Structures are given as C-alpha cells and as structure tokens.
C-alpha cells in the first residue's frame, strides 16, 4: 500500500497544513479568537522550534507552511491548547450560541469532551521543491482575495502577506526567499 499524502514524513521539508473549525463556524471572525491562534503560532516558533513561513487565518479555517521536528505532535498540542483557549474566550465574551453549537455538533465518539472545536486532521502536504513552496505561500496569501474578503493579500489582517512586503506583521515569520 502507498504512503498517505496526509502524513508528516521528513522533518527537513516544510509542510502546508490546513485545519477547519467544527461545522465551519466563523469563530475566527472574532478578533479575540483569532488572537488565540496567533499566540499559538508564536508558541510554535519560540518554544517548540517550529518555523512558520506563512499563515492565513480565515473566519472558519487556517492554512500555514511550517517546518520542524515532530510536527504532528507539536501541531496536535497546538490545536488542543488553542481549543481550550478558544472555549475560554467564547465563555468570557458570552458567545453562548457558538458554545451550544460546538457542544451539539461534537462527534459522538469524543466521549471525554463536552465540546469539539476543530474538525479532525491537518491534511499536511510535504513541500519538497522551491516551486511547491512558493505556490503554497501564494495560495495562502491569495486565500482572502479569492474568498472576496479583500482586494489585495496584504489587506487581510490575519495573514503573513504583509511580512513578505517588508512590513511588520501581527507575528514574525521565517521569510522564504525562493
């Protein structure tokens, strides 16, 4: 049987990853919730030795290009911690409708939890060439434009597009020179 294309195989390559919120709820449309994920990207870089080359946080999902040892474990921990923080933010700001939805839509086999925040998986794609890397970074930065949210990639606040234009982004990233 062949390799699954959705696994982390070689740590010396960067990976394109994506994750969607449960039921595609637009939780990241709330700045406080998006901030949770930004902080987790910083933790990945500063405490878990993961390079973040590019990211975009859309209302209901995120994409990123990352590289490092034990990515599967580190990203699983990141999503788990982010989920707990997101639930705390939703409770703090009284978003009871979304909390109810995260409780109602939780998968039945997730018995040890009251809520589920994320759809499962990261769908990693290994980027083994500079062309693949450049293409995925462009895809990430074009995501809000293609969705019709903004006219230019760097107009989207929750993206590394500005970093690549020499601006200070919300978080630093490792710039890919190609």
- Given CA atoms 166, 126, 11, 58 in this order, what sign does their dihedral have? positive
Q: How confident is the model at residue 1 (pLDDT cuts 50, 70, 90)?
A: very low
Number of C-beta neighbours around residue 60 at 10 A:
16
Span 147-160, pLDDT tens digits? 999 999 999 999 99
Q: How confident is the model at residue 3 (pLDDT cuts 50, 70, 90)?
A: very low
Ramachandran quadrant class, 143 (left: phi over 0; alpha: psi -120 to 50; beta: rest): alpha
Domains and CATH numbers, the chain: 15-165 (3.30.70.1290)
pTM: 0.92
Worst-scoring range by mean pLDDT, 113-117, 152-156, 165-169?
113-117
């Amino acid at each position: 049987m062949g390799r699954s294309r959705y696994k982390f195989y070689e740590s010396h390559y960067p990976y394109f990853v994506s994750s969607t919120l449960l039921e595609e709820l637009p939780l990241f449309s709330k700045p406080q919730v998006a901030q949770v994920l930004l902080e987790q990207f910083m933790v990945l870089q500063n405490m878990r030795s993961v390079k973040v080359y590019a990211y975009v946080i859309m209302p209901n999902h995120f994409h990123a290009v990352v590289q490092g040892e034990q990515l599967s474990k580190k990203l699983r921990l990141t999503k788990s911690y982010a989920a707990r923080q997101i639930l705390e933010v939703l409770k703090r700001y009284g978003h009871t409708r979304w909390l109810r939805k995260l409780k109602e839509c939780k998968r039945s086999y997730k018995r040890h939890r009251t809520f589920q925040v994320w759809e499962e998986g990261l769908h990693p794609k290994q980027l083994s060439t500079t062309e693949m890397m450049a293409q995925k970074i462009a895809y990430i930065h074009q995501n809000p434009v293609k969705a019709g949210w903004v006219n230019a990639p760097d107009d989207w606040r929750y993206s590394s597009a500005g970093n690549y234009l020499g601006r200070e982004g919300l978080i630093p990233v490792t710039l890919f020179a190609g």
